[in-house]
Amino acid sequence: MSAVTSQNELEILASRSHLDRLESEAITIIREVVSGCESPVLLFSGGKDSAVLLWLAIKAFAPARLPFPVMQVDTGHNFPEVMEYRDEFVRKYGLELVVASVQESIDRGDIPDPGPTGSRNRQQAVTLLTAIRTHKFDAAFGGGRRDEDKARAKERILSFRDKKGGWEPRMQRPEPWNILNPRIVKGEHLRAFPISNWTELDIWEYIAREEIPLPTIYFSHERTVIERDGMLLSVGGPVVVEEGEIPTKRIVRYRTVGDMSCTGAIASTATTYEDVLAEVSTARITERGATRADDNFSESAMEDRKREGYF
Amino acid sequence: MSSASTASNTQVRIATIGSVDDGKSTLIGRLLHDSKGIFEDQLSAVSKASRRYGDGTFNLALLTDGLRAEREQGITIDVAYRYFATPKRSFVLADTPGHAQFTRNMVTGASVSDIAIVLVDARHGVVEQTRRHVSIATLLGVSHLVLAVNKMDLVNWDETVFDTVVTDVAAIVSTLGSSVPIHPIPICATDGENVVEAGDKTPWYEGPSVLELLETLDIMPAATIEARLAVQWTLREHGGSDYRGYAGRLEGGAIRIGDSVTVHPQGYSSIVAGLTRAGSPTDISVPGDAIAIELADDLDVGKGNVIVVNGDHQPVDATGLIADVCWFTDTELNVGDAIVVRHASGEVSARVSAITHRLDLETLENTPTDRLILNDIGRVELALASPLVVDEYTVNRAGGSAIAIDPVSNATIGALMIRSAY
């Protein structure tokens, strides 16, 4: 065998796109965490990032089955379309699903009841940590991306969490050459972010290339919404029309999927992968800035929640 | 982002390095801003933060200094990753901290980068931290050093000042025995001169802007060794199938169905019977691909084994390593210390059998020593409790790199570049 690179090989190398490089990187991380940990789990919200993450995990182990379960932290304020999608995905790929319920945490008194219309987004951290302890998971894969937020931009691929589930940004483990250090003692756990280096645009390009199924609310549809704090909120469930608010039918889609009480829709006529891609590539506002009330409370909103155990 | 990115776009990874206050975060802010890689809500957040933490003038560094402590203290503590794209390439940019105490984070950012941008404040020239960072980036083996001599406006765009910095940096690189290409550019990051567009203040400089360089530098690695795959995991189908795929990331060279291979460290011989890339069957794979290999023979192969295409350049099944280490922790390293070495081919206990020298950053000479302290770069010899399958770092980065872990605290305490193995 000659080790000298042939013309053919050079052409193949050159044909590997940024998506190929990101895909290989993510698959390598997923495999490394599975080989280095006893009991991993993948967090699957039904959102586009976790759909890409799950897709990559399935590819990482194909044709074998996914060697770990997926878990949804159920705030109880879910879009019904997302629940249908979750169940269909789990059924189609024969996955094991664990549901961690925020309502159960409230019923047990672990977290204060924010009331029927209050956001349950921040409280998810408690439910998540309880589920990680109960099921003895030692690593949780998440679809966090560094381009989402300035605190996330600082996160390592493998994020060490202490016995309380907290994140200490000054004590992060260095990861030269992406060599991950998964060593922990009992009670500690790891968060793993295989798609750290993907941007929102990368995510959509990959979804379109792979034709990854998504919940229908990512595409344009008619919906009754009210405008609150500059965001279009879907009326129903935790969102109750208040005095002075006028419900109107609008053509919208969602750029992110989260708790219904704090995830806003955007006006959009994009009905296909390509339409969305075109829209995302000309967007002038970040997805979280545009659609998530929870991140806009203070300049350090995300960092504070991460220290408490949030993703 | 508004800039078009296409499916055939190559991705380039960059790290900004240099001393504190030389303007790394500001340069990145400028690159993002001028290439339209910043969203409007991020801009308005920066304006707000500029009023709070600064003198009120718009401070581009606040785009990447994302932790509260960083904004309050006006310094970068940890690596921040930023992303932008032009019609030609997409970029992953690691903004690394300039403070010596956070050198471990600089190593993390630079170790996976194709290009390092060295920032130097024209007023101060090359300082110890510049020497440290340039030395580390050179040892890490980046493909290019872009030397951005910043704050040129504060020295009246004086060409002799620029030339002095260029000469000093070239001396560091050549003293270390490296031939990494250096691309010097005079810039002013705060007003964008020569960052994205060529400016008009440097008639004596006719080269490209920083962004033009980033878009055109050749980063394709030339394969000079046979393909190798450190097995991460064995894929097995349930129910009836006897499929067995050895999964990992390919390094070194290309691999094809039919290639003869040797499994290290056992020395088994076999032939590649099947290949998948990202879960789909393929006939050939190239370095960087996440693949799985089926072998023609039924062998006992798993995590810790390295499958290597037969040829002249085989890895070493090593129980002894000689390596350069960047030491990350306050606890000093002494001869006789026990550490854990984590490498692509496994995680083993090791003992420090010798410490020969450390790099003196003033003279750039190797100085004899018997201990290493925080941020030292030095040479160690390690005795491994069981074999690792390694390459020399200069031949294969993935097979020649490892981390040192504290066996008690589990902290990552050093970065190892393997120079020889036995």
Judged against a pLDDT cut of 80, whether residue A56 lies above it is answered with yes
CATH placement of domain B10-216? 3.40.50.300
Give CA–CA dist B194/B178, Å, rounded: 27
Rounded to 10 degrees, the C-alpha dihedral B174/B176/B177/B180 comes to -70
Residues of chain A positioned with their CB less than 8 A from the CB of B251: none
Which amino acid makes up residue B152?
M
What is the per-residue DSSP string for A138-162?
SEEE----TTS-TTGGG--SEEEE-
Check A4 against B223: CB less than 8 A apart: yes
Same fold, B228-309 and B316-421: yes
The residues, any chain, with a CB within 8 Å of residue B156's CB and separated by 6 or more, are: none
Closest CA–CA distance from residue A261 to any residue of chain B (Å) = 21
Which amino acid makes up residue A68?
F
Judged against a pLDDT cut of 90, whether residue A258 lies above it is answered with no
Question: What residue of B is the nearest CA neighbor of A156?
Answer: B79
Give CA–CA dist A136/A87, Å, rounded: 24
Give CA–CA dist A47/A31, Å, rounded: 22
Which amino acid makes up residue B21?
D
Nearest of B305, B303, B279, B316 to residue B418 by alpha carbon: B316
3-class DSSP state of B213 = helix
Superfamily of domain B228-309: Translation factors (2.40.30.10)
Residues of chain A positioned with their CB less than 8 A from the CB of B315: none
pLDDT value at position A2? 44
Tell me which DSSP letter residue A151 carries.
Answer: T
CATH match of A12-201+302-307 with 3.40.50.620: yes
Residues of chain B positioned with their CB less than 8 A from the CB of A170: 69, 77-78
> Residue A112: is it exposed, middle or buried by C-beta count within 10 angstroms (0-12/13-18/19+)?
exposed
CB interface of A with B, residues 12-31, below 8 Å:
12-25, 27-28, 31
Nearest of B125, B127, B140 to residue B94 by alpha carbon: B140
**Hey, which of A3-12, A182-191, B36-45 has the most confident mean pLDDT?**
A182-191
Give CA–CA dist B20/A18, Å, rounded: 31
3-class DSSP state of B42 = helix
Taking the domains of chain B in order of start, what are their residue ranges?
10-216, 228-309, 316-421
CB interface of B with A, residues 242-271, below 8 Å:
243, 245, 247-249, 252-254, 259-260
Taking the domains of chain A in order of start, what are their residue ranges?
12-201+302-307, 215-294
The CATH architecture to which B316-421 belongs is Beta Barrel (2.40)
Q: What is the ipTM, given to two decimal places?
A: 0.87
CB interface of A with B, residues 237-276, below 8 Å:
none
Q: Six-digit token pair at B167?
A: 């000469």
Check B284 against A169: CB less than 8 A apart: no
3-class DSSP state of A252 = strand
| Beta strand B89-95 pairing with B80-85 | antiparallel
> Residue B301: is it exposed, middle or buried by C-beta count within 10 angstroms (0-12/13-18/19+)?
buried
Closest CA–CA distance from residue A101 to any residue of chain B (Å) = 31
Q: Which of A183, A200, A209 to mutate to test the interface with B (most CBs of B within 10 A)?
A: A183
The string of pLDDT tens digits covering residues A167-181 is: 777 778 899 999 999
CB interface of B with A, residues 68-87, below 8 Å:
68-69, 71, 77-83, 85
CB interface of B with A, residues 274-333, below 8 Å:
276, 278-280, 284, 286-290, 303, 309-313, 326, 328
Q: Six-digit token pair at B144?
A: 């290019």
pLDDT value at position A296? 47
Check B66 against A4: CB less than 8 A apart: no
Q: Residue B416: how many CB atoms within 10 A of its CB?
A: 27
pLDDT in tens, chain B (422 residues): 333 334 446 889 999 888 877 788 788 888 887 776 666 666 666 666 666 655 555 566 666 555 566 655 555 656 778 888 888 888 888 887 766 667 788 888 889 899 999 999 999 999 988 998 899 999 998 999 999 999 999 999 999 999 999 999 999 999 988 999 999 999 998 888 999 888 888 889 989 999 999 999 988 666 679 999 999 999 998 777 789 999 999 999 999 999 999 999 999 999 999 999 999 999 999 999 999 999 999 999 999 999 999 999 999 999 999 999 999 999 999 999 999 999 999 999 999 999 999 998 888 889 999 999 998 999 999 999 999 999 999 999 999 999 999 999 999 999 999 999 99
What's the pTM?
0.88
Check A18 against B11: CB less than 8 A apart: yes
CB interface of B with A, residues 152-211, below 8 Å:
none
**What ranges in B141-262 are assigned the alpha helix state H?**
159-175, 210-216
Q: Which of B89, B108, B224, B283 to mutate to test the interface with A (most CBs of A within 10 A)?
A: B108
